[in-house]
A = this chain, B = another copy of it.
Amino acid sequence: MKAKITITPKKAVVDPQGKTVQRALEQMGYQGIGAVHVGKYLEIELTGDRAAAGSQLNDACLKILSNPVIEDFHVEIVD
């Protein structure tokens, strides 16, 4: 079992890293590029009960893995 966690800046938060990537892609000649948001991605291998794993990872995201003031997170558990 594995958890895939994505942590992204909230839409209302200024994302200079995303802006920089967007500008770089445009300057390299890529077409049709809109807003870019840069976040973190974590893959965590898990053992044990699926529901318990999901709830403890939600808790971990709120407490240490993300900054809930400026970031959103999404936890997905896959086999």
List residues of chain A with CB under 8 Å of any chain B CB: 6-8, 18, 21-22, 24-25, 28, 30-48, 52-53, 56-57, 60, 63-65
- Least CB distance, A48 to chain B, in whole angstroms: 4
Asked whether, in the complex, the Cβ of A38 is within 8 Å of the Cβ of B41, the reply is: yes
Q: Which residues of B contact A32 (CB under 8 A)?
A: 46-48, 52-53
Asked whether, in the complex, the Cβ of B24 is within 8 Å of the Cβ of A64, the reply is: yes
Q: Which residues of B contact A8 (CB under 8 A)?
A: 41, 43
Asked whether, in the complex, the Cβ of A46 is within 8 Å of the Cβ of B28, the reply is: no
**Of listed A24, A41, A52, residue having the most chain B CB within 10 A:** A41
Q: Which residues of B contact A34 (CB under 8 A)?
A: 44-47
